[in-house]
Amino acid sequence: MGLEIVKPGVNINFIRLRPWAFALSAILIILGLTSLILKGGPRYGIDFAGGTIIQVKFTKEVKADEIRAALKTLNLKEATVQGFGAAEEHEYLIRTKVTSGALQRTAEILKKVLEKKLGEGTVEIRRVEMVGPKVGKDLREKALLALFYAILAIGIYISGRFEMKWGTSAIMAGVLLGVVYVFSLLKVPLSLLVIVAFVATLILYIVLNLRFALGAVIALIHDVFITVGMFSLLNKDIDLLIVAALLTIMGYSLNDTIVVFDRIRENMRKTTKESFPSVVNRSINETLSRTVLTSGTTLLTLLALFLLGGSVIHNFAFALLVGVMVGTYSSIFIASPILTALERRGFLLKKQISYKKVKAR
């Protein structure tokens, strides 16, 4: 007999809690968007913004102001100093937008300047990374497209698996890719292009009545928005490692959502009298033990990475921590309740959810 965190027969009315869940999500998303707007977008790391980053370690306590004073003699463009890791480690990140070849010797010169001010043997250069502005822009655009294509592929998979509409979803994907291609020929900024593509995707899901895909994709966008918003609120950098974390979060959240959707489909086969909202609510309760157990063990692992994994993967572990918590929440309170919300507004007509057709599958 398997381990059960939640006892069988539990009947929490998640559908009734839907308005509160939607309100909470709206508040979190608005806070994140407000922060992004006020700060002019996400705070990009060197990978996306371009520039140079130098990590230095001191053998004694050093204040950031002392480092800034030493940097003034080097004439570095828009140099910033930021603490890195635990305070007792005395490590700092020095960032600058300069990416010229002269920076190959910058680390050595910086070390000499700091040691002259702070004492011989007190400074260690841990790493130097440099990314050109054009490379950073290309990486940023490719990261945006990766997120869009991942969500599009997920929509196709969900539509095919749960609604047997492989052809419809494939046609929709072709239309969207065509739109992206045409807009790219018109030199539309990629950020605007991706936003247009996301909006067009959601509209097509509604028009084509791809209800399960719509619920899953809205939940995924919800997870990404909240995670990115948290990074903006806490002034954390977004780089390639964080994009990898976002894609991982999407996969985890989708897996959780699919488990609930599978149970909804199974329960629809078993009954013809129970209302659709009741089927959805019962399905969430029946998978609740599995959801809590899986998410709990995953969060324990991520918490260990976050606390003990070191400063290099600190932001990556933080993104996964936030994403797994939000992804678990969205599979229960966003993806499945959206199906019920659409059904009550006529998007899910009872004829289209014919139990006979579902049973025939």
pLDDT tens readout for residues 312-326:
788 899 999 999 999
Pure H helices in 239-313: 240-270, 276-286, 288-308
Residue 345 binned pLDDT confidence (cut-offs 50, 70, 90): low
According to DSSP, the β-strands at 80-84 and 91-96 are antiparallel
- Neighbour-count burial of 149, counting CB atoms closer than 10 A to its CB (0-12 exposed, 13-18 middle, 19+ buried): middle
Specify the DSSP element, H or E, that contains 89: none
> Does residue 28 lie in a domain region?
yes
Of 26, 13, 15, the closest CA to residue 343 belongs to 15
Q: What is the DSSP letter of 128?
A: E
Claim to verify: residue 118 and residue 201 sit in the same structural domain: no
> Does residue 1 lie in a domain region?
no
Claim to verify: residue 148 and residue 239 sit in the same structural domain: yes
> Does residue 283 lie in a domain region?
yes
Q: What is the DSSP letter of 75?
A: T
Residue 161 binned pLDDT confidence (cut-offs 50, 70, 90): confident
Residue where one domain finishes, among candidates 103, 131, 159: 131
> Does residue 8 lie in a domain region?
no
Mean pLDDT of the chain: 79
For 169, residues 6+ apart whose C-beta sits below 8 A from its C-beta are 155, 156, 159, 160, 208, 210, 213
Length in residues, the chain: 361
> Does residue 10 lie in a domain region?
no
Q: How far is CA 80 from the centre of its chain?
A: 27
Return d(Cα 81, Cα 77) in angstroms, integer: 12
Claim to verify: residue 252 and residue 333 sit in the same structural domain: yes
Claim to verify: residue 55 and residue 38 sit in the same structural domain: no
Q: What angle do CA 60, 63, 66 make, to 5 degrees?
A: 105
Claim to verify: residue 97 and residue 177 sit in the same structural domain: no
Claim to verify: residue 321 and residue 349 sit in the same structural domain: yes
Q: Which pTM value belongs to this model?
A: 0.78
Residue where one domain finishes, among candidates 85, 101, 131: 131
Read off the pLDDT of each residue in 90-114 and give the average, rounded to a whole number.
71
Return d(Cα 249, Cα 251) in angstroms, integer: 5
Q: Which domain holds residue 190?
A: 18-44+135-360
pLDDT for the residue 133: 62
Q: How many helices (H) and strands (E) does the chain have?
A: 14, 4
> Does residue 72 lie in a domain region?
yes
Residue 354 binned pLDDT confidence (cut-offs 50, 70, 90): very low
The per-residue pLDDT for range 218-273, each reduced to its tens digit, is: 898 899 999 999 999 998 888 888 888 988 898 888 888 888 888 888 888 877 67
Percent helix, strand, coil in the chain, to 5, is 70, 10, 25
pLDDT greater at residue 351 or residue 243: 243
Claim to verify: residue 228 and residue 151 sit in the same structural domain: yes
What CATH number is associated with residue 343?
1.20.1640.10
For 287, residues 6+ apart whose C-beta sits below 8 A from its C-beta are 259, 260, 263
Q: How many CA atoms lie within 13 A of 109 on its CB side?
A: 12
Position 9, amino acid: G
Claim to verify: residue 172 and residue 306 sit in the same structural domain: yes
Claim to verify: residue 168 and residue 307 sit in the same structural domain: yes
Claim to verify: residue 155 and residue 91 sit in the same structural domain: no
Residue 62 corresponds to which tokens in the numbers above? Answer: 């050093």
Q: Percentage of residues in the chain with pLDDT exceeding 90?
A: 12
Q: Taking each helix axis as running N to C, give the angle between helix 276-286 and helix 336-344, from 0 to 180 degrees, rounded to the nearest 10.
A: 170
Determine the straight-line distance between the first and last CA of the chain, rounded to whole angstroms. 30
pLDDT greater at residue 128 or residue 6: 128
Residue where one domain finishes, among candidates 96, 131, 166: 131
The per-residue pLDDT for range 162-183, each reduced to its tens digit, is: 777 777 777 777 877 777 777 7
The total number of structural domains in the chain stands at: 2
Return d(Cα 224, Cα 130) in angstroms, integer: 28
What CATH number is associated with residue 118?
3.30.70.3400
Q: Residues 211, 339: contact at Cβ < 8 Å?
A: yes
> Does residue 102 lie in a domain region?
yes
Claim to verify: residue 142 and residue 190 sit in the same structural domain: yes
Claim to verify: residue 207 and residue 309 sit in the same structural domain: yes
Residue 67 binned pLDDT confidence (cut-offs 50, 70, 90): confident
Of 11, 7, 28, 13, the closest CA to residue 337 belongs to 13
Q: Residues 180, 197: contact at Cβ < 8 Å?
A: yes
